[in-house]
Structures are given as structure tokens and as C-alpha cells.
């Protein structure tokens, strides 16, 4: 799709930058999961060896368990090295940084000129060389969904601001996602618990007599002082 306006370029660059961020997040999550597995198995191997020594277990099964765990750890380490998580994440980070830089320049431009077009084409190259086609399709789809959801939420937000400026009644539940029924139910429950309108009709405790007594005490105080002075 040909993009010939500045707004289209900015929106397209945002979606591609977010796609790279999502890809980096997925790679980091996978790398962390493999690393955690290796840590757990290493601790388990050391624990089994300590139990063997303390309890003096000579059964062949106890001797095989640490060997099997060590083999699995070695296989996981080799797989992590084969998938090359650090280099792939570094490539994505560099491409994301370059696209973010071009996005900043596009936001500061007033028109779509030849220089910006060249930088935009470079951004496309960075994306295409960082992700495989199937990965690019998957993460761009997720990025587009996220950006559309953000725009819808911002539209609701600015609509509520306009209502506030016009002194209109607003319902903060409009800010919640329509698909998140559980969050909306929790908000309504909390709002009902904090609502004090139902207590406005409750009669207040009578304080008229107490106020009257206080007033009489204040009025009588000078008279009492005069009586004390006369007595002296």
C-alpha cells in the first residue's frame, strides 16, 4: 500500500516499531523461560547430590538421576545457543531504535518530502531484515490491534474531557474496555461501596440541645466572673 501523506507515514512507523517491540518481548520471554529451566534443573541436581551424600544412598537410580539432569541441562544450553537469542534480540533492538529515530523526525516534519521518503524506505528495510515474513505478519497484526484499541480509548478519554468542560454528567465506566466485563463489575462494586448518596436521607443525630447548652454556658460566663469579683 502506497503511503503519500505524513500522517500515514507516522502511523505506519508506529505500528512497525511496536511490532518490533512485541517480537523482542516474545524472544526475551522465551530466553528467560529456558534460562529459568536450566537454573531449576541445576539446583535440583545439586540438591540430589547433597541428599545422596547425607543419606548415603548407593542405589543405581540415584546415581542416574543427576546424570540425566546434567544431560538435559547440556541439551537446553546447546538449544539456547543454537537459537541465538541474544543476537536476535540485539538486531531487533537496533532496528527498533532506528525506526524510532525516523519516527521522531517524521513527527517534526510539516510535509512528506524526498528526504523523509528515503528514511521511511530505510525503516522498511530495517523491519524486513529483522523479522521473517511469517513473524512480521503475526506481530504487525498484534501491533495494529493494539494501536486501534489505544486510539479508541483516547477517543473516549477526550470525549469525557469535553463533557467535563461543558459541565455534563460523565460515567467513568466509559473508560473501561467493553470486553473486560470483570473489570467493569469490580469497578461498579467499588463505586457502590464508596457511594455516599444513599446516606444522605438518613436523619442526623439531634444536636440542638447541646448547642443551646453551649450558648447558655457562654452567655453565663461573664455573669459568673462578675459574681466572683463582687465576692472578693
C-alpha cell at 75: 541439551
Give the percent of the chain with pLDDT over 90.
Answer: 34
The pTM assigned to this predicted structure is: 0.67
C-alpha 1/C-alpha 154 separation (Å) is: 26
Note the residue count of the chain.
232
| 149 falls within a domain | no
Q: Is residue 121 part of a domain?
A: yes
pLDDT band at 173 (very low <50, low <70, confident <90, very high): low
Query: pLDDT class for 21, splitting at 50, 70, 90?
Result: very high
Q: Given pLDDT bands bounded at 50, 70 and 90, which one contains residue 59?
A: confident
Measuring CA to CA, how many Å separate 38 from each of 31, 44, 63, 115? Answer: 11, 10, 20, 49
The answer to whether position 225 is within a domain reads no
**Nearest C-alpha neighbor of 112 from the set 17, 2, 7:** 7
Q: Is 207 a member of any domain?
A: no
Q: Decide: 170 and 163 in contact? Cβ < 8 Å.
A: yes
pLDDT at position 135 is 92
Q: Is 32 helix (H, G, I), strand (E, B) or coil?
A: helix
| 194: pLDDT strictly greater than 50 | no
Domain for residue 170, yes or no?
Answer: no
Range of the domain at 53: 6-131
Please list, in sequence order, all residues whose beta carbon lies within 8 angstroms of the beta carbon of residue 146, skipping any fewer than 6 positions away: 18
Residue 48's pLDDT band, with cuts at 50, 70 and 90, is: confident
Least confident among 3-17, 25-39, 133-147: 3-17
Q: How many CB atoms lie within 10 A of CB 88?
A: 16
pLDDT at 160 over 90: no
Mean pLDDT throughout 200-206?
A: 43
Q: Does residue 212 fall inside a structural domain?
A: no
What pLDDT is recorded for position 109? 86
In this structure, are residues 25 and 146 in contact, taking their beta carbons and an 8 Å threshold? no
**What total number of domains does the chain contain?**
1
Q: Which of 123-132, 172-181, 209-218 has the highest mean pLDDT?
A: 123-132
Whether the pLDDT of residue 77 is over 50: the answer is yes
The answer to whether position 199 is within a domain reads no
Cell output for 84:
541465538
Look at residue 206 and tell me if it is in a domain.
no
Half-sphere exposure of 6 (CA within 13 A, CB side): 13
pLDDT of 174 reads: 59
Amino acid at each position: 500500500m502506497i503511503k503519500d501523506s505524513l500522517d500515514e507515514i507516522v502511523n505506519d512507523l508506529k505500528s512497525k516499531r511496536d511490532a518490533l517491540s512485541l517480537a523482542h518481548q516474545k524472544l526475551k520471554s522465551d530466553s528467560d523461560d529456558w534460562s529459568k529451566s536450566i537454573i531449576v534443573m541445576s539446583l535440583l541436581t545439586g540438591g540430589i547430590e547433597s541428599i545422596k551424600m547425607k543419606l548415603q544412598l548407593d542405589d543405581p537410580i540415584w546415581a542416574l538421576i543427576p546424570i540425566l539432569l546434567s544431560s538435559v541441562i547440556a541439551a537446553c544450553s546447546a538449544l539456547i545457543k543454537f537459537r541465538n537469542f541474544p543476537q536476535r534480540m540485539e538486531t531487533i533492538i537496533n532496528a527498533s531504535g532506528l525506526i524510532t529515530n525516523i519516527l521522531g523526525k517524521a513527527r517534526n516534519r510539516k510535509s512528506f518530502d524526498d528526504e523523509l521518503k528515503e528514511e521511511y524506505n530505510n525503516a522498511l528495510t530495517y523491519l524486513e531484515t529483522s523479522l521473517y515474513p511469517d513473524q512480521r505478519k503475526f506481530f504487525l497484526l498484534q501491533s495494529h490491534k493494539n494501536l486501534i484499541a489505544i486510539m479508541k480509548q483516547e477517543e473516549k478519554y477526550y470525549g469525557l474531557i469535553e463533557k467535563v468542560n461543558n459541565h455534563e454528567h460523565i460515567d467513568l465506566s466509559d473508560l473501561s474496555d467493553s470486553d473486560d466485563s470483570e473489570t467493569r463489575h469490580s469497578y461498579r462494586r467499588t463505586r457502590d461501596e464508596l457511594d455516599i448518596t444513599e446516606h444522605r436521607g438518613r436523619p442526623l443525630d439531634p444536636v440542638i440541645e447541646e448547642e443551646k447548652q453551649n450558648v447558655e454556658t457562654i452567655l453565663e460566663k461573664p455573669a459568673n466572673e462578675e459574681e466572683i469579683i463582687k465576692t472578693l
